A = this chain, B = another copy of it.
Amino acid sequence: MTAASPSILIVGAGAIGALYGSALSRQGTQVSVVCRSDYDHVQQHGYAIRSVVLGDHVFRPHAVLRDVSQRASPPDYLLLTVKVLPQVDRAALIKPAVGPDTVIVLIENGMDIEAEIAAAFPNNELLSALAFVQVSRTGQGDIVHQALGSLSLGRYPSGTTPAAQRLAALFDASQFNCALTDAVVTARWQKAVWNTAFNPISVLGGGLDTEMMLRTSDNQALIRRAMEEVCAAAAAAGHALHPKLVDRMIADTRALPGYKTSMAVDYENGRPMEIEAILGNVVRSGRKNGVAMPTLETLYALAQMVENRLNVPR
């Protein structure tokens, strides 16, 4: 890794990748992107980003690649920001760009999403990151960053490293606060409490935002039960969470304007949803440890039905 300015390759540069890539690029780092669906547009025009933090601007990556294999030399950091879907082999996707010294950084949703990458690249440093951000792709190369933006970053499965510190410092300098954690799996469980409840319910309720999901006391009770089951699964997996976490998350969510989850946005656009990463892996972890999760089991079975339904012509 060069001392002055690391090279960064973002694989799957949609909303998350473009926003953070732009932020890092402004710190003088060389940021290239791999983006398949918007390749022609981004290659020609870059990303048009409207951000509550960075302002309106155009982000022109150092290089725009259609495919990872087009990369000549391995990057210092490879940031993986693709959706975690059963049909996407993420290890195979990034393999051509991973050199012996490349630090792999996952900025992705879901639980237990690291093991597959750790197994495929046992000699590479693997960092896991959580993004607390509301950002959407609204069209070819068009990114709208509505709110928040902070990150949490640590070595997988635990600890921190100089490379993690360096990347966190770059994010911090870019106006996106990045907290280092030496317990990133616990942090991931904590985020799962929100994600695993709100995401499937937003879809099963017919495409709801957070305000709609918290409107009635029956609905709030459902969100709470789902969250508490995630806490129980987390505790059984050795990651006890703060006893007030659920209260705090519901109160915080109610204080913010209504927000559509990533799964609801995917659902409404007919795109595959991260059901396994966000919900299925939590359920499997709880099952393994004998945790009763009747609410999550119901949400999971229903979400699978919806996913299968979307793949069947009416």
Q: Which A residues lie at the B interface, using CB under 8 A?
A: 201, 204-208, 212-213, 215-216, 218-219, 221-222, 225, 294-295, 297-302, 304-306, 308-310, 312, 314
Residue in B205, B222, B304 whose CB lies within 8 Å of A309: B205
Stoichiometry, as copies per complex, reads: 2
Q: A294-B294, A294-B295, A295-B294 are in contact. Are A222 and B310 (CB under 8 A)?
A: no
Q: Is there contact, CB below 8 Å, between A305 and B225?
A: no
Q: Is there contact, CB below 8 Å, between B305 and A205?
A: yes
Q: Is there contact, CB below 8 Å, between B212 and A309?
A: yes
Q: Is there contact, CB below 8 Å, between A305 and B206?
A: yes
What are the 8 A-B residue pairs with the smallest beta carbon separation, nearest first? A205-B305, A294-B294, A222-B301, A206-B309, A298-B298, A206-B306, A204-B302, A218-B301
Q: Is there contact, CB below 8 Å, between B207 and A294?
A: no
Report Cα–Cα, A210/B269, bound state, in Å.
Answer: 26
- In the complex, what's the smallest C-beta–C-beta distance from A215 to chain B, in angstroms? 7
Residues from chain B with a CB closer than 8 A to the CB of A299 are 298
Q: A212-B308, A212-B309, A308-B215 are in contact. Are A302 and B207 (CB under 8 A)?
A: no
Q: Is there contact, CB below 8 Å, between B308 and A222?
A: no
Report Cα–Cα, A302/B216, bound state, in Å.
Answer: 11
Q: A212-B309, A299-B298 are in contact. Are A304 and B218 (CB under 8 A)?
A: yes
- Which residue among A213, A300, A304 has the maximum number of chain B CB atoms within 10 Å of its CB? A304
Q: A295-B294, A314-B207 are in contact. Are A302 and B201 (CB under 8 A)?
A: yes
- In the complex, what's the smallest C-beta–C-beta distance from A24 to chain B, in angstroms? 36
- In the complex, what's the smallest C-beta–C-beta distance from A55 to chain B, in angstroms? 30
A268: nearest residue on chain B (CB-CB)? B314
Residues from chain B with a CB closer than 8 A to the CB of A312 are 212
Q: Is there contact, CB below 8 Å, between B219 and A294?
A: no
Report Cα–Cα, A119/B233, bound state, in Å.
Answer: 48
Q: A300-B218, A310-B206, A314-B207 are in contact. Are A201 and B305 (CB under 8 A)?
A: yes
